[in-house]
C-alpha cells in the first residue's frame, strides 16, 4: 500500500478474493476453542497481568517438591518427606485458588463480552463449546498437578543413592499419580465451571468457588467432630485426599472407607459436567 | 433458488408473540429486513442462525435446516449481531483470526484472510492494537469483518449502523453495498431506517408484529409516480390557479404545487404559466415515492385495524 493512503475513513478496492481452501468444520473449531482456552488459563496470548495469578500459583505448587529435593540434596541420604499420594493435599489450596481464579476467565469472559452468539453461529455446537472449555480447564489443572510431581519424581531419581533402584521401586506409582491427578483435575475443573458458567460476573464466580471449597471443608470438619464420621464427606478437600489415598491404596486416618470417597468424587464430577452442559444448552445467545 | 425459506415460522414467549406464522422466501441478493423495534427482526435472524429455537414451523438457509443442520450451515454463514460482542482486551487481528478458525479455516488461511478482510473493511495499522481504544465505527468494522472473514455465502447483519454517526453510517452502508454487489455475497440486513434500506438493498421484506407485510423489489416501492413537483419563488396561489385554469390537475401542498403528469404538454404549460406570471421556476421534477410513504401507509393501516 502506498504511503499516505492509510486512514480508516476510506475503502480501497483491493479486489475481493473468495476463499476456496479447505473448511475443516466442527473438530477444528472445537480444537481451536480448546487451545485458545488452555492458553488463556495460563494467561498466554493475553496481557501480562493475566499471567500473574496462574503462573504464581504454578510456582507455589512446586514449592513442596522443591523443599523436599532441597533437603534430600543437602542431607545426602534418602528422604521420604513428600510422598506422591500426599502431594495433592499439600497443594489443595493452590488447586482451589487456581480454579477459582481461572474458571471464571474461561466461562465468564465470553458471556461478559457477549461473544457467545458469534461462537454458536459458527461451526461449533453449544455442547462442543462447553466440552472444549471443560477440557481446557482440566488440562490446565493437569499441568498444575503433574508438573510438580514430575519434578519430584525426576529429582528423587537424581538425588537418591541408586537411581535404578528408585525407578524400579517407584514405577508402579506412575499410573497412580496420573490417575489421581486426572481425577482431581476433572473434579475441580467441572465443579468450578458448573459455578463459573452461571454468571458473567467474575467476582461472584471466584467468590463462590472459593467459598464452596473452604466452607465445605469447615462444615465437613465440624460435622465430622459433632454429628458423625460421614460428615467429612461434605468436605471437598477431604474427598480429594481420600480418593487419592484409595487410588494409591495408601494408609490413612479417615473413618469412612476411601473407596466411598472416591465414588463421591466421581459422582460429583459427573453431576457437575451435566450441569455445565445443561447451562450451555440453555444460555441465551 | 431461494436462499432463505420459512414455513409457518412462529416464536412465542410467555405473554408475547415475536413471530406469527411467517411464510417467507428470500432470493439471493441484498435484502433489507425492515420493521419497527420489536417487529421480530432480530428474532427472525436468530432463528435463521439456529441461535433460537422456533415455537413452531421451520426455517431453512442455503437449503440447510436452520436448526437441525446448523453445524454444516454455519460454515457458510456470517453473523453480525446488533449488540456489542468484542473482547476489548484482544487486538482486532487476534480476534478475527480466532473467529476464522472457529469457522473451520486452517490457521494459516485464517491469518491471511484476516489481514485481507480487515483491509477491506478499512482497518489498517490499528488492527494490531487492543480493541478497547477503538471508536464505535472501528468496532462496527471489526464486527463486520468477523462475519466476512470465512467468505460466507450469506451474511446476516442486525442493525449494522447502530450507534454510528452520520459519516460512519455512510461508510458502513457503502461497505455493505460493496460486499453484496461486488463480493457476490448475499446479505440480509435489518434496519428500522427505511432510508438505509432504500440506499443499499435490492429487495425489501417488511415485517410488523411478527407478520409479513410486504416482500418485493425495492424498485417497486420507489418508482416514479406520475406527479410533478413544482416549486416557484413567488405567487404560489396564483400559479396554481392559472395551471388549473389551463386544464391541468394541480394542487398546492405547502410551498409546492403538485401537478398530475397527464401528457407531454404539462411541462410546456408550466413553463409558459411561470413566464406569464413572471415568477421563477425553482424546481420541476417527477416525484418519487419513498419507502417512508409506504411505511406511513402501513402504520396508518395498522392504526385503523386496531
pLDDT at B294 over 80: no
B150/A21 CB distance under 8 A: no
Q: Are residues B194 and B155 in the same domain?
A: yes
Residue A267: its pLDDT value, please? Answer: 98
Domain count, chain B: 2
Instruction: Please tell me whether residues B197 and B257 are part of one structural domain.
Output: no
Burial of B218 (0-12, 13-18, 19+ CB in 10 A): buried
pLDDT in tens, B45-101: 999 999 999 999 999 999 999 999 988 899 999 999 999 999 999 999 999 999 999
What pLDDT shows up at residue A255? 87
Please give the pLDDT value at position A187: 97
Q: Highest mean pLDDT: which of B154-158, B195-199, B268-272, B287-291?
A: B154-158
Pairing state between β B256-260 and B56-61: unpaired
The residue segments making up the domain with residue B181 are 4-221
Assess whether B209 and B229 both reside in one domain: no
Check if B171 contacts A (Cβ < 8 Å).
Answer: yes
Whether residues B174 and A47 touch (CB distance < 8 A) is answered with no
Nearest Cβ partner for B106 among A22, A120, A122: A22
Residue B41 lies in a domain: yes
CB pairs under 8 A between A and B: 126
Q: Is residue B303 part of a domain?
A: no
Alpha-carbon distance of B78 to B45, in angstroms, equals: 11
Mean pLDDT of B269-293: 81
Hey, are the CB atoms on B104 and A119 less than 8 Å from each other? no
Please report which confidence band the pLDDT of residue B305 belongs to, taking 50, 70 and 90 as the band edges.
very low
Q: What is the pLDDT of residue A7?
A: 47
Q: Are residues B79 and B154 in the same domain?
A: yes
Sites in chain A below the pLDDT cut of 50: 1-9
Residue A171 resides in a domain? yes
Q: Do B214 and B228 share a domain, yes or no?
A: no
- Which residues of chain A does B89 touch, with a Cβ-Cβ cutoff of 8 Å? 46-47
Q: How many CB atoms lie within 10 A of CB A67?
A: 13
CB-closest option in B74, B122, B174 to A123: B74
Could you tell me if residue B216 is inside a domain?
yes
Beta strands at B186-191 and B30-34: parallel, antiparallel or unpaired: parallel
Report if residue A48 sits inside a domain: yes
Cβ contacts (< 8 Å) between B81 and chain A: which residues?
A: 114, 117-118
Residue B303 has pLDDT above 70, yes or no: no
B189 and B228 assigned to the same domain: no
> B94: how many CB neighbours lie within 10 A of its CB?
20
DSSP codes, A63-129: HHHHHHHHHHHHHTS---SS-GGGHHHHTHHHHHHHHHHHHHHHHHHHHHTT-HHHHHTTT--HHHH
Q: How far is the CA of A241 from the CAs of A141, A195, A219, A247, B221, in angstroms?
A: 16, 22, 16, 10, 74
Q: What CATH code is carried by the domain that includes residue B115?
A: 3.40.50.300
| Report field, pTM of the whole predicted structure over 0.90 | no
Mean pLDDT score of chain A, rounded to an integer? 90
**Least CB–CB distance from A18: residue in B119, B122, B151:** B151
Q: Which of B112, B83, B89 is nearest to B100 (CA)?
A: B112
Instruction: Look at residue B223 in the predicted model and tell me its pLDDT.
Output: 63
Q: Which of A16, A21, A115 sits opposite B87 (nearest CB)?
A: A115
Say if B279 falls within a structural domain. yes
ipTM of the predicted assembly exceeds 0.85 = yes
In a domain, A67, yes or no: yes
The domain total for chain A is 1
Average per-residue pLDDT for chain B: 89
Report pLDDT for B30: 96
Are residues B251 and B159 part of one domain?
Answer: no
Write the CATH number for B275: 3.30.70.980
Tell whether B211 and B234 lie within a shared domain. Answer: no
Q: What is the pLDDT of residue B299?
A: 56
Q: Indicate if B132 and B186 belong to the same structural domain.
A: yes
Residue B175 and residue B279 in one domain = no
CB contact under 8 A, B99 and A118: yes
Residue A10 lies in a domain: no
State the pLDDT confidence band at B29, using cuts at 50, 70 and 90. very high
Mean pLDDT of B119-127: 92
Which residues constitute the domain of residue A148?
Answer: 25-210
CB contact (8 A) between residue B122 and residue A17: no
**Can you state the percent helix, strand and coil of chain A, rounding each to 5?**
75, 0, 25
The reported pLDDT for the residue numbered A217 is: 93
Residues B174 and B192 both lie in one domain = yes
> Which string of DSSP letters, residue by residue, matches A226-252?
HT-GGGGGG-HHHHHHHHHHHHHT---
B179 and B257: one domain? no
Chain B touched by A49 (CB under 8 Å):
no
Substitution target in B67, B74, B175 with the highest count of A β-carbons within 10 Å is B74
Examine residue B247 and state whether it is found in any structural domain, yes or no.
yes
Report the share of chain B in percent with pLDDT over 90: 59
* Chain A from 97 to 136: CB within 8 A of any B CB: 109-110, 113-115, 117-125
**Per-residue DSSP letters for chain B?**
--SEEEEEEEEEETTEEEEEEEEEEE-SSEEEEE--TTSSHHHHHHHHTTSS--SEEEEEETTEETTTTHHHHGGGEEEE-SS----TTSBHHHHHHHHHHHTT--HHHHHHHHHHHHHHTT--GGGGSBGGG--HHHHHHHHHHHHHTT--SEEEEESTTTT--HHHHHHHHHHHHHHHHTS--EEEEEES-HHHHHHH-SEEEEEETTEEEEEEEHHHHS-EEEEEEEEESS-HHHHHHHHHHTT--EEEETTEEEEE--STHHHHHHHHHHHHHT--EEEEEEEE--HHHHHHHHHHHHHHH-
Amino acid at each position: 500500500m502506498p504511503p499516505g493512503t492509510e486512514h480508516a475513513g476510506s475503502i480501497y478496492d483491493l479486489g475481493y478474493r473468495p476463499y476456496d481452501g479447505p473448511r475443516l468444520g466442527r473438530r477444528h473449531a472445537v480444537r481451536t476453542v480448546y487451545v485458545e482456552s488452555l492458553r488463556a488459563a495460563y494467561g498466554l496470548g493475553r496481557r501480562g497481568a493475566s499471567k500473574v495469578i496462574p503462573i504464581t500459583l504454578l510456582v507455589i505448587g512446586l514449592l513442596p517438591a522443591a523443599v523436599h529435593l532441597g533437603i534430600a540434596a543437602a542431607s545426602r541420604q534418602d528422604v521420604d518427606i513428600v510422598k506422591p499420594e500426599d502431594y495433592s493435599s499439600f497443594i489443595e489450596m493452590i488447586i482451589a485458588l487456581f480454579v477459582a481464579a481461572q474458571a471464571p476467565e474461561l466461562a465468564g469472559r465470553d458471556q461478559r463480552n457477549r461473544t457467545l452468539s458469534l461462537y454458536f453461529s459458527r461451526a461449533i455446537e453449544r455442547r462442543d463449546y462447553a466440552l472444549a472449555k471443560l477440557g481446557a480447564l482440566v488440562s490446565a489443572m493437569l499441568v498444575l498437578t503433574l508438573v510438580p510431581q514430575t519434578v519430584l519424581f525426576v529429582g528423587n531419581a537424581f538425588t537418591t543413592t541408586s537411581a535404578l533402584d528408585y525407578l524400579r521401586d517407584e514405577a508402579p506409582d506412575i499410573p497412580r499419580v496420573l490417575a489421581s491427578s486426572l481425577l482431581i483435575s476433572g473434579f475441580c475443573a467441572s465443579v468450578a465451571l458448573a459455578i463459573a458458567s452461571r454468571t458473567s460476573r467474575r467476582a461472584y464466580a471466584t467468590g463462590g468457588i472459593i467459598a464452596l471449597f473452604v466452607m465445605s471443608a469447615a462444615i465437613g470438619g465440624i460435622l465430622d467432630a459433632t454429628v458423625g464420621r460421614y460428615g467429612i464427606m461434605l468436605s471437598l478437600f477431604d474427598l480429594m485426599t481420600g480418593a487419592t489415598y484409595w487410588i494409591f491404596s495408601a494408609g490413612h486416618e479417615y473413618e469412612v472407607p476411601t473407596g466411598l470417597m472416591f465414588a463421591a468424587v466421581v459422582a460429583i464430577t459427573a453431576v457437575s459436567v451435566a450441569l455445565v452442559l445443561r447451562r450451555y444448552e440453555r444460555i441465551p445467545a | 433458488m431461494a436462499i432463505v425459506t420459512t414455513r409457518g415460522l412462529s416464536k412465542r414467549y410467555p405473554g408475547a408473540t415475536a413471530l406469527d406464522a411467517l411464510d417467507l422466501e428470500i432470493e439471493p441478493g441484498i435484502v433489507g429486513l425492515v420493521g419497527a423495534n420489536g417487529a421480530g427482526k432480530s428474532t427472525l435472524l436468530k432463528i435463521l442462525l439456529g441461535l433460537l429455537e422456533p415455537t413452531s414451523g421451520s426455517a431453512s438457509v442455503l437449503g440447510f435446516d436452520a436448526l437441525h443442520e446448523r453445524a454444516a450451515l454455519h460454515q457458510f454463514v456470517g453473523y453480525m449481531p446488533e449488540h456489542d460482542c468484542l473482547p476489548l482486551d484482544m487486538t482486532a487481528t487476534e480476534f478475527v483470526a480466532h473467529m476464522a478458525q472457529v469457522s473451520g479455516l486452517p490457521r494459516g488461511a485464517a491469518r491471511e484472510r484476516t489481514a485481507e478482510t480487515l483491509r477491506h473493511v478499512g482497518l489498517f495499522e490499528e488492527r494490531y492494537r487492543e480493541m478497547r481504544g477503538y471508536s464505535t465505527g472501528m468496532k462496527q468494522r471489526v464486527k463486520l469483518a468477523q462475519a466476512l472473514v470465512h467468505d460466507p455465502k450469506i451474511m446476516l447483519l442486525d442493525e449494522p449502523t447502530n450507534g454510528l454517526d452520520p459519516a460512519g453510517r455512510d461508510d458502513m452502508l457503502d461497505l455493505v453495498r460493496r460486499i453484496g454487489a461486488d463480493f457476490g455475497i448475499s446479505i440480509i440486513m435489518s434496519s428500522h431506517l427505511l432510508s438505509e434500506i432504500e440506499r443499499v438493498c435490492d429487495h425489501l421484506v417488511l415485517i410488523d408484529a411478527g407478520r409479513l407485510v410486504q416482500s418485493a423489489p425495492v424498485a417497486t416501492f420507489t418508482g416514479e409516480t406520475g406527479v410533478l413537483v413544482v416549486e416557484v419563488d413567488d405567487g404560489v396561489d396564483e400559479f396554481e390557479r392559472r395551471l388549473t385554469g389551463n386544464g391541468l390537475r394541480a394542487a398546492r401542498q405547502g410551498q409546492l404545487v403538485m401537478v398530475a403528469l397527464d401528457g407531454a404538454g404539462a411541462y410546456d404549460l408550466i413553463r409558459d404559466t411561470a413566464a406569464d406570471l413572471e415568477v421563477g421556476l425553482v424546481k420541476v421534477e417527477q416525484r418519487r415515492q419513498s419507502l417512508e410513504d409506504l411505511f406511513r401507509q402501513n402504520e396508518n393501516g395498522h392504526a385503523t385495524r386496531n
